[in-house]
Amino acid sequence: MRFMLMVAAASAVCATVAIAEEEDHFADAVETRHGLMLQMATEMGKVGAMSKDEAPYDAAVASKAAANIAAIASVLSMDQFPAGSEYQKATDSFALPAIWTAQDDFLKKVADLNTAAATFQTAAGTDLDSLKAGMAGIGGACAACHKVYRQPEE
């Protein structure tokens, strides 16, 4: 009897672990893309404050933020968006299914972000007017993707 209880307990533990692993299958990918987007938002906040005259223009800070934005954009790929990790299927995901049904367009928008980020990286440390012009490109690239491929937070 004691042996049967130990077997039952071990089976219950194994089943619980298996269920937890299945539920967390996309956790790393979702956490990675959240981290990337949060870091990009942090950098955008720095240059956004300068572009809105809420913070003094600082060429060094603007250059560093723009370099970070370009670096983050350069690593965005389908690796952070595995199939099945969409909104209401993966915990904390805001990725809409259109990412996978229109993957070519999604990847084009990622490429557009990279182009805008490279342009911004060149311009941000030049002067305030160049930073403001570059912000329009970055903001447009972010919005173009988020409008189609991201579920708004409630």
Q: CB of 69 within 8 A of CB of 40? A: yes
Distance of CA 97 to the CA centre of its chain: 16
CA–CA separation, 70 vs 137, rounded Å? 13
Considering the domain boundaries, does residue 71 fall inside one?
yes
Considering the domain boundaries, does residue 89 fall inside one?
yes
Q: Which candidate, 147, 26, 16, 15, places its Cα nearest to that of 88?
A: 26
Number of separate domains in the chain = 1
Q: What is the CATH number of the domain that holds 109?
A: 1.20.120.10
Considering the domain boundaries, does residue 129 fall inside one?
yes
Q: Domain of 39?
A: 28-149
Considering the domain boundaries, does residue 17 fall inside one?
no
Considering the domain boundaries, does residue 123 fall inside one?
yes
pLDDT digits (tens, 9 = 90+) for 46-68: 999 999 999 999 999 999 999 99
CA distances (Å), origin 5, targets 8, 12, 15: 5, 10, 15
Report pTM.
0.82
pLDDT digits (tens, 9 = 90+) for 60-113: 999 999 999 999 999 999 999 999 999 999 999 999 999 999 999 999 999 999
